[in-house]
Amino acid sequence: MRVNPLFAQIALTCCLLGPCGITSVWAGPRVLPQIDPAQPSEKAVQDVQNAQRDDASLRQWLTQNGFVHQVSTRASDLVVNALSFLGVKYRYGGDSARSGFDCSGFVRYVYQETLGTVLPHNAAEQAHEGEKIPESQLKPGDLVFFNTLRRAFSHVGIYIGDGQFIHSPRPGQTVRVENLDSPYWAKRFDGARRIMTSP
């Protein structure tokens, strides 16, 4: 399941305005329209075209509002794609939007779907990929790691800019955006890695 990109825009606005609850704005993820390749109806084709326009609108809004300014198109695409999964449920071992994601499954899925980059399905193993970078040099698309299970690199998310990251937190919760500076996450921050190059 994926979120309507227009909702991602609203949720992102809420995140930028302060600590308001995303869940209070949104009723749940929507399934993007599927086209039967054998007999696509005009309405089905139109629904997919509208969804694609929504993605383009969100990307433009993010850029105009400085959220992903001065970053590569690949990083922008990664952030927009990650935000489209807001509200997808957590599932241990999960690696798809339909069944749910765990933290590393979410990161793996977004990277593979957006960039074609295949990462391990394990946060600690993902921490061995890419280039180690200091928190002060984070850019959208970087991976951020946390010690949430009393062991290093036990949780991972994707940095989206403005001190925020998106992740699939734990059972009973859904993909959401949080602040790196919040007391819980700041205390458990383990480092960051840059996986993608910036063409």
**pLDDT at res. 182:** 97
Q: Which of 20, 103, 121, 128 is catalytic?
A: 103
Are the beta carbons of 32 and 98 closer than 8 angstroms? no
Q: Which of 14, 15, 20, 155 is catalytic?
A: 155
- pLDDT tens-digit series, residues 157-176: 999 999 999 999 999 999 99
Q: How far apart are CA 176 and CA 113, in angstroms?
A: 19
Whether 167 is catalytic is yes
C-alpha closest to that of 105 among 90, 127, 83, 84 = 90
Q: How far apart are CA 86 and CA 82, in angstroms?
A: 8
Cα-to-chain-centroid distance, residue 170: 15
Whether 155 is catalytic is yes
Q: Which residues of the chain have a pLDDT value below 50?
A: 6-7, 9-40, 44-45, 48, 68-69, 197-199
Architecture of the domain defined by 5-194:
Alpha-Beta Complex (3.90)
Whether 103 is catalytic is yes
Q: Helices 73-83 and 103-115 sit at what angle, rounded to 10 degrees?
A: 130
C-alpha closest to that of 166 among 147, 141, 183, 149 = 141
Please state the pTM of the whole predicted model.
0.69
